[in-house]
Every structure is written in C-alpha cells, then in structure tokens.
Amino acid sequence: MTPTLFSYNQLFSFTKAVFRGMGCPEADATLATETLLSADLRGVDSHGVARLIGYVRLWEAGRINATPRIGVTYETPSTAVVDGDGGLGLVVGPRAMQVALEKARQVGTGWVSVKNSNHFGIAGYHAMQALALDMIGIAMTNASPLVAPTYSLERLLGTNPIAVAVPAGEQPDFVLDMATTTAANGKLEIAQRKNLPIPEGWAQDAQGTGSTDANAVKNGGALLPLGGATGSHKGYGLGAVVDIFSAVLSGANYGPWVPPFVAFLQPSANPVGQGLGHFFGAMRVDAFRPADEFKAHMDNWITTFRQAQAVDGKSVLIPGDPERETSAVRLIDGIPLLEPVLKDLETVGSKFGVKL
C-alpha cells in the first residue's frame, strides 16, 4: 500500500477548517491543529491526522465540548487541578501545561493534574513546551481501557504514555515519549490498515493467549503492558502510576471507567470521575543548578551515549532522535497518508465542506 504525500501546510489548513467546523474558536482550532499534527511530523502516525475522524465522531456524539471554559479549580503555589470542561484534549492539554510552566517560572516547579478532558494527542508535544524556557517538561495521560494488567483477562488500563523532555545545549534535546504498553493501540490500527500481523508480545486474545492478529483487541482481547512475557509487571506498574497521577489525583475517571476514544463505545454509566485525566510537570533547571552548566553536562551525557560502541550495523540513539530526523524530512518531503486514512479524511471533509 503506497502512501500519498501531503505538505504540512496542506494538512494544517484542512485540519484547522474541520475544528472550526466543529465550532472551535479560532485560537483553539489553531492550537488543536498544531498539537495533532505534531504527531504526524514526528512520525507518530497513529496519533496524528488519522485520529481526526475520531474527534469528530466524539463531538457528534456530544462527548466533546468545542467551546470549553478551562479553569483551575484548586491550587497552591506549585500545584493545580485544571478542569477541562469536556474540551478537546488537544486544547486542554497545552493550556494546562502553560499553568505548570507559569508555576515553575514563579517557584521553581509546577505540577498540574487535569480532569474532564479528552485524548490529548502525543504526550511528547506537551512535555516539549518546557524546552524553550530551559525547563524540564513531563506529560502523562490515562487512556481508553484496552490493556490487561499482568495475569488479567480484563482490560483495566490504557496505553498511559509518559513523556519527559530535557533541554540540552549544542546537542539536540532529550525527548522520551513512550507508551507503557509494548505498543500503542494506534500501531494495531496501522497494521489493520495494511492488513498485516502484529509482533508477538503486543496483544492477547479474549482467552489470554498471545496473539499476532491485529484485530485481537477489537475481538475481545487486550493490549499487553511493556515488558512482555517475563517483565510485564513493570509496564503494568508504570501504567498504574500514570493512571493515579492523571486521574485519581485530579478527580478524572480512572481504570476501567476511563471514557473510550471511540464513539461507538459508550462511557461507563457509573463514572467515578469526570472525563479522562492528564498530568503535567515543569521544573526550572536553574532551580537546581545554573542552566548553562546543566546543558553543557547534558551535551556531554548525550555525546557519551551517542558515541558508545554499538553492535554491528547499529548505533546508539538518544530518545527523540528518530522523531527529530523524521520531522526534518517530512517538513520538506511531505507527510505520508495511507488510503484508509485518506478515505476517513474525505468523510470528515464532506461533513464540513472542506477538501484536502
């Protein structure tokens, strides 16, 4: 299946027009588009424009508020709880991260837990907002319950990603952005579009047996925590921490009560909180040591690891390298979209009179 290339600007104009068609104010539509397309630029195709139809369906189902009144409901000098008022996570997330950054600017660190939000795109986008300010950024979110904890047949957790962005000096910044599962559900969706099997260790079927069927989760199975057959308890533990920080702390739904991203599945009739949750952190580097001194040592750290002796045909990468390199290429060559994604975008465009 050969993908079709589209320029970033072309996809930006289309996506923004769709968000405007949903009723988002100009500034929110622009922010949501930037947040969403950051995934496509960085090569995380599972979380970019391919997800646009999902947001539209949730909006049509009345589960996304296009004009939210996002606000702080509780705070101390270094912490806050933000209520997203059911808004797009693509907008709620960046606004909440700004709260964390401002608190870090004032007192050294800022920690924000969010409730009443929706899917916020890639975690890395939010964490990276700290870099230009010489801060370390942290972003987490809980997600649709598609993951079985170790030994479980029930789906109780989401892919619950963690992102950490650390500024460097002359070297590219360190950006870790990872799911706490072996693979994100979006990777299964890509395999479904390509009609390909998935690697062992990604999912189990409804009976708890490992499966290479890309439709295993759709058919009652579950995604598996990071760590595989011998270490999934570690991924389970990390996913649990994300769930607690994002939702138990804020008052969002957690565990099996997290509202699903897909519109055809209804949220729990007995929710334990509001919407889904995020967690953001910002730490001013100069609250620990002079920023230039820190970044010089980060350069040394990065160079040391990058120059490590590697196995034949390989090189040691720094978290963020593949995404940064992909972004540079796609800004010039365009962003590839598979035919099933194009069809979804045509469907979306027809709803709002927008052409790609």
Percent over 90 (pLDDT), the chain = 93
CATH code for residues 5-182+224-287: 3.30.1370.60
pLDDT tens digits, 232-244? 999 999 999 999 9
pLDDT category of residue 183 using cuts at 50, 70 and 90: confident
Say what the alpha-carbon torsion angle 116, 121, 123, 124 is, to the nearest 10 degrees: -150
Integer Cα distance of 281 and 268 in angstroms:
29
Q: Is the pLDDT of residue 266 over 90?
A: no
- Give the pLDDT confidence score for residue 184 in this predicted structure: 82
pLDDT for res 190: 86
**Which residues have C-beta within 8 Å of that of residue 210, sequence separation ≥ 6?**
200, 201, 203, 204, 224, 229
d(CA 199, CA 188): 10
pLDDT digits (tens, 9 = 90+) for 200-243: 999 999 999 999 999 999 899 999 999 987 899 999 999 999 99
Residue with tokens 């000098």: 77
If you ran DSSP here, which 8-state letter would residue 254 be given? -
Least confident segment among 129-138, 174-183, 188-197, 247-256 = 188-197
Which DSSP string corresponds to 63-130? -SBSS---EEEEE-SSEEEEE-TTB-HHHHHHHHHHHHHHHHHHHSEEEEEEEEE---S-HHHHHGGG
Contact criterion met (CB below 8 Å) for 241 and 113: no
CATH class of 183-223: alpha beta
* pLDDT recorded at residue 113: 98
Strand partners of residue 111: 79, 281
Residue-range domain boundaries for the chain: 5-182+224-287, 183-223
Q: What is the predicted pLDDT for the residue at 230?
A: 86
Sign of the alpha-carbon dihedral angle for 79, 85, 86, 88 = negative
